[in-house]
Structure 1
């Protein structure tokens, strides 16, 4: 983590407000974690009005940015480093992702950052990570030239310890078998990481969008004599799909009354997840 680098956490985007609320909370946790060890140092000041102020100390300088979206904005910036971490969405945002990146680049430049690292908060190495986000970054980079360098980091799902955040849940304690439910991708090899994670968690994998799906995996476990089955949603936050999974679990419970199906929680915005994100950034 370098003082000259700003970080943009990119999620898929949703009409459901819960994922974005989770993203904002997570960004704040990442800022806090990255800022640890910087206590006692000055922080960036807030936006200041465009007129001289005797309150500006010698450790501050006035930066005029011709790249600001608001003409005439003046920002007082402390020389000390404070992490700049914000969020963006690939889809369903107010602006296309490349425009969100461009605006973030303007802000980063105003705060004397000359490099942006984009971290895809995606769990699978699918089309969004491998094609869509790189294309949006390329458009943004073209529009801001080389004023600020933009780099894409490995996606969140590449962290080897991510699965540990799912396994220690009271909701699935003492189950006989576990099913890790991921969204899934049709990209060749894109689900391999889920299969490996499921194996490491002593679980089997199921997918929401591709086979094998959750009902089939529950039926297979039931046919083998398992009764206590834990369902682990491999998603960052609660949303429309996790709600749909819950309905599916309810229907399966009615279909198989001899089973005890227990559904866990998504990963969620936790200090532990923020720690993994910072670790992913630090170990590039």
Structure 2
């Protein structure tokens, strides 16, 4: 059996997330067994974006499959293309949009290649351990786990459970339960040291906006010490989690 791996992100006009995705793809490539590396390994781990790309995702999948498999003899056994959605919450993109694009790609692709949609990144339990490591590096009385949010019913359950395990409260960037409202609640409860952990993959436009929002909160609550942690970022630990998802 021969396998290739495509990491799918949301996509952004900001160049930083794409650069981080490329770095992450290299880290995942380093997880490949030596037998994979010997067979066109440079083309076996790729990246794609659901949005902000000139091509729709199903065409990106088709192009990647061509690069990964067409340059070498297809195995007489199964050839698998594993799609890993690098999304943190089970919103509409994860539950509806990406599966639909994968289905379109499978209809158009070489029948000798089976596309497998892997679990989304946020479903992996070890992500919580990465967040706990970040929390351990910053001293604060209260933590806010700040996620993008989704209007899809049930999409908040995972983040709420994770926040509870981390002794944090949740806030959302795009849906009710805003950062400002959570800060006001914590300040009213008497907290003077508040840290914000952005539950985002990489630095980009939203994390810049979060940083600007915190500067405004500092003016509004001058007696409170605010600290902002980094997003997850491309790391060997994150690559290990992604590699584990490819076996599920």
Q: TM-score, normalised by structure 1?
A: 0.81
- Residue 26 of structure 2 is aligned with which of 22, 25, 28? 28
Structure 1's consecutive aligned runs of 4 or more residues displaced over 4 angstroms after TM superposition are: none
1:186 matched to 2:186: no
Specify the alignment match of 2:39 in structure 1: 44
Q: What SS does the aligned partner of 1:163 have?
A: helix
1:248 maps to 213
Query: Which residue, 175, 181, 195 being the options, matches 1:210?
Result: 175
Q: Distance in 1 between matches of 2:133 and 2:5?
A: 29
Aligned equivalents of 1:122 and 1:189: distance in 2? Answer: 15
Give the Cα separation in 2 of the matches to 1:42 and 1:159: 26
Residue of structure 2 equivalent to 1:120? 85
* CA pair 170-124 structure 1, distance change in 2 beyond 3 A: closer
**Aligned residue among 96, 108, 117 for 2:56:** 96
Q: Hey, what does 2:13 align to over in structure 1?
A: 15
Structure 1 residues 13-36: Cα deviation after superposition (integer angstroms, max 9, x where no partner): 00000000000000000110234x
SS of match in other structure, 1:168:
helix
Which residue of 1 is the match for residue 223 of structure 2?
Answer: 258
Q: CA RMSD in A?
A: 1.9
CA distance, structure 1, for counterparts of residue 68 and residue 114 of structure 2? 11
Larger helix proportion, structure 1 or 2? 2
Structure 2 contact 198–229 (Cα < 8 Å) conserved: yes
Q: Structure 2 length as normaliser, TM-score? A: 0.92
Is residue 129–residue 155 contact of structure 1 (8 Å, CA) maintained in 2? yes
Unpaired segments of 5 or more residues in structure 2?
A: none
- Gaps in structure 1 of 5+ consecutive residues: 46-80
Aligned length: 243
